[in-house]
Amino acid sequence: MTAHDVLDTAFIEAVHNHDWRSTSLGPRADWPAPFAGAVEIVLRTHHPMFVCWGPDLPILFNEAFAEILGPQHRSALGVPLRALWANEWHRFGSFVEAAMAGRSSHAEDVPFLTWRSDYTQFGYFSFSYTPLLHEGRVGGVLCVCTETTERVLDRQRVLQERDRLHAFFEQSPSLVAISLGPDHVYEFVNSAYEAFVGRPREQLLGRALAQIFPEVVGTPPLARMDEVFRTGRPVTVPEVHVQVPERPGQRGLERIVNWVAHPYRAVDGSVAGVFRQGHDVTEQRTAEQNVQQLTAELIHVSRLSAMGTMASTLAHELNQPLTAIANYASVGTRLLGRRGATPDDPLAEALAAIRSESLRAGDLIRRLRQMCMRGPSATERVDVERLVADALRLALLSFGEPPELNIDIAPGLAVLGDPIQLQQVLINLVRNAAEAMEGRSERRLGIRASEHEGSAELCVTDTGPGLSNEIAARLFEPFSSTKSNGMGVGLSITRTIVEAHGGRIDAVEVPGGGCAFCFTLPIAHRPDRAA
C-alpha cells in the first residue's frame, strides 16, 4: 500500500464539517439518502469524482478532484456548478443537462484548466455523467473524471509526426501511398502518386484500392500488399507494368514501376496498413532497350562486314570453278554441234542453261560482294513481270511438284535497281515460301506487285504454318534460322538488298494461315512520264 492509497480523513472531515446550511443543500442530516450515499462513495475513492444535487446543482467533490481544482477548491464546495464553470459551461453544460434529463452522457478528452504544482495549465479529461434518482425523479448528477492528458499528448505527437512525414512525402518525387486495413483503404497519397494515376486525391482517400482500380484484383502486386499486411514483412515488387491514363477514361500509356511495400504500424506496434513507395523506371528501361538495340545493330554491322569479307573470299575462290564450268559447257555445246546436234536438242539446251547459270552465279557473287563492301551497284529499269517470271523459274527448279501459283502483276510496272540482286531477293522469298508449305495439303504461292504510296510494293504469300512471335522478332537477324541445315543469312541478305535500294521489307501473318513478305522498291517511270 502506497501513501497515495491512504485516504486523507482530514479532507473527508472538512467536507463533513463544511457549513452546508449556507448552501442550497441544507444541513447534512436533511440530505436525501441517494445523495448522501453518493457523497460517501465520492469521498472514499481515489478516482477524481464530484456530485451535484438540486436545481442549481451545488458541487461536492473528493480529494482527488480537489487536486485538479487547486487552491480554489476551498471556496468551491457548495458553489452551483454553472457558476463555478461559468467560463467552461459551453464545453460541459450540454452533458450536465442531459444527465439531469435522465440520460447518461460522456465527454471524451475535454481540455480543462487544472492545477499543476503551483501553477495552472490545461490538461485533458474524460467526464462520465450519471443521473442520480430520488423518488423516481432525477435529483442530481454523479460525475467520474479520468485524466487523459498523457494519451492525448501522445496522440498529438503521433499526428504531428505523421503530418511532418506527410509534408516530407508530399515533396518527394517518388510515388508514395499509405493504405489502412486489409482492404487497403487509401489514407494518404502524395502529389506524384496523384499525378501518376491521373486522379485527384479526393477520389482516392477513404476508398479501397480494389474499389478504385478493380483491374488489380487477382494480380501479383495486390497479393504482395496482402502479404505485407498479413506478415508485417516488407517486400519489393519490381517491374510492375501500369497503364497510366492521359485523360480520365482513356487507356493511356504503359509505364514501368518498381514498388517497395512496408508495414505501416500503429502506436502499439501492430500492422495498421501498408506504406508503398514507387519509382517510375520507364525511361531507364527504354534507355536500356535502346542500348541493347544499338548493340544489336553494331553486331549486325560487324556481321555484314564479315559477310563482305566472306563474299570477297567466295568471289575469289568460286569465280575460277564457275568460269571453268561455263567453259566446259561451251566446249560441250561445240562438240554436240560437230556431231550434228541442233540448238533445240535437249542436251544442247541443258548445256546452254549450265553456261548461263554459271555466268549468272558469278555475276551475283560479284555484285553481292560490291553491296556488302559498299561498292557501287548497277541500277537500271527492271520490268517487274519479267523479274517475277525469271525468279519463279529459278527458285522452283529443285521442287518436284511446284505449288499452285497465283500471280497478280500491275501492267507495265517497273522498278529501279540491280536486276541480279532483285532477282535474288525474289528467289530467296519464293524458296522460303515453297519450303514452308512442304508436306501440307494446301500449297498456294502468291506474288502480287502494284504501285502503293509512290513506291512499288511486291508481296510473296504462302499457305504455310505462319510465324510465331519468337521467330518474327528475329526473322531478319543474320545467322538466325529455323531450318536445321540453314545458315540464317538468306533473309538478312534480302533485307540488306532491299534497304540498299531505298525500300523496306516486313513479314506479316495472313488471315486464315500462312505468311506474307512484302517489300517496297522505287518505281521506274516510263520515259514519257519523266518530264
Look at residue 429 in the predicted model and tell me its pLDDT: 93
CA atoms within 13 A on the CB side of 298: 6
Order of all β-strands in the sheet with 105-116: 59-61, 49-53, 137-147, 119-134, 105-116
% of the chain with per-residue pLDDT over 70? 84
Say whether 154-280 and 3-147 share the same fold.
yes
Range of lowest pLDDT (54-58, 199-203, 294-298, 513-517): 294-298
If DSSP codes are grouped into helix, strand and coil, which group holds residue 314?
A: helix
User: In angstroms, rounded to a whole number, what is the distance separating the alpha carbons of residues 70 and 349?
Assistant: 130
Look at residue 462 in the predicted model and tell me its pLDDT: 93
Q: What is the mean pLDDT of residues 492-519?
A: 88
Q: What is the distance, to the nearest Å, from the Cα of residue 121 to the centroid of all Cα atoms in its chain? A: 53
Residue 235 predicted with pLDDT over 90: yes
pLDDT in tens, 335-347: 877 877 777 778 8
Task: Name the pLDDT band for 381 (thresholds 50, 70, 90).
Answer: very high
Is the pLDDT higher at 517 or at 113?
517
Is the pLDDT higher at 454 or at 168?
454
Look at residue 486 in the predicted model and tell me its pLDDT: 43
One CATH from 3.40.50.1980, 3.30.450.20, 1.10.10.10, 3.40.50.300 for 3-147: 3.30.450.20
Look at residue 482 in the predicted model and tell me its pLDDT: 54
The domain limits of the chain are 3-147, 154-280, 289-376, 378-531
Residue 427 predicted with pLDDT over 60: yes
Order of all β-strands in the sheet with 444-452: 404-409, 444-452, 455-462, 515-522, 505-509
C-alpha cell at 55: 436545481
Task: Name the pLDDT band for 371 (thresholds 50, 70, 90).
Answer: low
Calculate the alpha carbon distances from 94 to 102, 107, 195, 241 in Å: 13, 10, 46, 57
Range of lowest pLDDT (4-13, 230-239, 309-318, 515-524): 309-318
Q: Which fold has domain 378-531?
A: Heat Shock Protein 90 (3.30.565)
Residue 90 predicted with pLDDT over 70: yes
Q: Write phi, then psi, for 68 (nearest 5 degrees).
A: -70, -40
- Architecture of the CATH domain 154-280: 2-Layer Sandwich (3.30)
Range of lowest pLDDT (45-49, 57-61, 285-289, 434-438): 285-289
Task: Name the pLDDT band for 316 (thresholds 50, 70, 90).
Answer: low
Residue 109 predicted with pLDDT over 50: yes
Look up the pTM and report it: 0.42
Calculate the alpha carbon distances from 19 to 13, 27, 66, 77, 142 in Å: 12, 8, 18, 9, 21
Buried b vs exposed e over 338-351: b needs ≥16 C-beta within 10 Å?
A: eeeeeeeeeebeeb
Look at residue 117 in the predicted model and tell me its pLDDT: 64
Look at residue 368 in the predicted model and tell me its pLDDT: 60
Q: What is the mean pLDDT of residues 208-232?
A: 90
Look at residue 415 in the predicted model and tell me its pLDDT: 95
Q: What is the mean pLDDT of residues 18-25?
A: 91
Q: What is the mean pLDDT of residues 220-239?
A: 91
Q: Say if CB 408 and CB 512 are below 8 A apart.
A: no
Looking at mean pLDDT, say which of 39-43, 188-192, 491-495, 512-516 comes out highest.
Answer: 39-43
Q: What is the distance, to the nearest Å, from the Cα of residue 334 to the centroid of all Cα atoms in its chain? A: 76
Residue 75 predicted with pLDDT over 80: yes
Q: Which fold has domain 289-376?
A: Helix Hairpins (1.10.287)
Q: What is the mean pLDDT of residues 124-146?
A: 93
With cell 480494389, the residue in question is: 210
Range of lowest pLDDT (61-65, 358-362, 424-428): 358-362
